[in-house]
Amino acid sequence: MQKYILALDQGTTSSRAIVFDRAGLAVARCQHEYPQHFPEPGWVEHDALDIWHSQLACARAALRQAGIDATQVAAIGIANQRETTVLWDRATGEPVARAIVWQDRRTAAMCDRLRQQGRAEDIRRRTGLEVDAYFSATKLQWLLEHVPGARARAERGELAFGTVDSWLVYRLCGRHVTDASNAARTMLFNIHTLRWDEELLALFDIPAGVLPDLVASSEAVGLAAEEHFGAALPIAGIAGDQQAATFGQACHRPGLVKNTYGTGCFMLMHAGTTAPESHHRLLSTVGWTIEGRTDYLLEGSVFMGGATVQWLRDGLGIIKESREVEALALSVPDSGGVMLVPAFTGLGAPHWDQYARGTIVGMTRGTSAAHIARAAVEAIAYQSAELLAAMQKDAACAVLELRADGGAAGNDLLMQFQADLLGIPVLRPRVLETTALGAAYLAGLAVGYWEGSDEIARQWQVERRFEPAMDPGRRAELMARWGRAVEHAKGWAND
């Protein structure tokens, strides 16, 4: 009887499930969007039960679509939106408040105070992270302070905190765990000792009893209850979505770089088995832990990637479906001088400006919806070009190619413009769902479905290679103009 791996890919705007075969190819997939909540400007929330129900429904639908019985599933792998903070009742499994999403900015002032107190350097040294509302620590602190009775209940051991991986595992099998790739995004985890940091817990006033236990990224951690799929299935892979995508892109050795074009854009470089130090405001983070070995990554984060296209669809209404953006953008030869800086939730690396806001500059009476659409697509590439420039300086090595994945990587205009701005080839793999694929690989390795990383690397194949075609002088001119536009967006909401 042929066996398969079920990958759960829980993202910011949708839950997905994909069934993979031994060749690393998807045989079935399902995706459901779920509601986003914006109760105040700069706040972004999810109902954790929406996450759970949409993810479970997708998983069941993918198995039905594949035409396989649950007994044919060798293991489940989980990849998840990172930093999003869930707090729930241990006894009932019910969330005590909406989850605070990674994009949420409500704790920016709390981060400002930490910097003013001179704590930023120590936090960065321990965690590899910038002090920013992006990460989980201040979100959890906010929930404990603002949800009635939460702090007292947490101190009594009645509440559990987790990122979305922890939440899903808890609902599936009742265990409260996370792996180092997700723990490293909380700002409570020491990436050198690979343990929860007692001094950081004291700084943020977080009771240790709310924290999940630590497990490897590739390890059988429990059995999903039979009621969910009709058979008890091993959960054997856990990784934050960007680490999973890096693993799925076969970036298993130092110097290899991938960029995921999803809701945000996340560029990661394999940095070896020692935590790297960034001098250009990139993040040093855990990639994955397998059989006692921990691999580290350098990361740059763009908060608004494909979400910028969603804003064109939902906010401006100039397209009805996200896939229409490429045709609209191609209806004009260029952006007509328009620059769109999508700092709707601040700017990530290398700027780290919590108070930047979305800005459009360069418009004239001749500016059309097509020019704005083109500027939106190009903005994704500009932001990513800034990340690679910082990454090359930190790593002191020449990056020879960029491996691209994520939904927006299917946009040929974006991929070609990205190659032009970077001056290096952009490689789009045959399998674009590398986040789910990485989760599948981690789970499969734990149960012996695949023999090792060499077998996985051999499965990676290029679907299309985009070669740079832009004159270097023009590239420098455009990046300089982008820099001017970014300066206009900075600090806007800092009243």
Burial of 451 (C-beta count, 10 Å sphere; 0-12/13-18/19+): exposed
45 assigned to a ligand binding site: no
242 assigned to a ligand binding site: yes
The C-alpha atoms of residue 198 and residue 382 are separated, in whole angstroms, by: 39
CB 197 within 8 A of CB 208: no
Interstrand relation of 265-272 and 293-302 (parallel, antiparallel or unpaired): antiparallel
134 assigned to a ligand binding site: yes
Of 338, 368, 388, the residue nearest 488 (C-alpha) = 338
Burial of 381 (C-beta count, 10 Å sphere; 0-12/13-18/19+): buried
The C-alpha atoms of residue 145 and residue 474 are separated, in whole angstroms, by: 51
Of 6, 50, 8, the residue nearest 31 (C-alpha) = 8
Interstrand relation of 14-20 and 4-10 (parallel, antiparallel or unpaired): antiparallel
- Give φ, ψ of 401 to 5 degrees: -160, 160
Residue whose tokens read 């820099």: 483
12 assigned to a ligand binding site: yes
The C-alpha atoms of residue 93 and residue 83 are separated, in whole angstroms, by: 20
The C-alpha atoms of residue 7 and residue 436 are separated, in whole angstroms, by: 5
Residues contacting 443, CB < 8 A, separation 6+: 5, 7, 74, 75, 76, 77, 218, 234, 235, 236, 237, 449
308 assigned to a ligand binding site: no
255 assigned to a ligand binding site: no
State both tokens at 268: 């990661």
The C-alpha atoms of residue 48 and residue 163 are separated, in whole angstroms, by: 10
72 assigned to a ligand binding site: no
190 assigned to a ligand binding site: no
16 assigned to a ligand binding site: yes
83 assigned to a ligand binding site: yes
Q: What DSSP letter does each residue of 77-116 carry, written as one string?
A: EEEE-SS-BEEEETTT--BSSPEEPTT--TTHHHHHHHHH
178 assigned to a ligand binding site: no
Residues contacting 103, CB < 8 A, separation 6+: 12, 44, 134, 264, 303, 345
Output Rg (C-alpha) for the chain, integer angstroms.
Answer: 21
Query: Which secondary-structure segment (H or E) carries 365?
Result: none
Annotated binding site for ADP: 12, 16, 263, 306, 407, 411
Annotated binding site: 12-14, 16, 82-83, 134, 241-242, 263, 306, 310, 407, 411
Annotated binding site for sn-glycerol 3-phosphate: 12, 82-83, 134, 241
Annotated binding site for ATP: 12-14, 263, 306, 310, 407
Annotated binding site for glycerol: 82-83, 134, 241-242
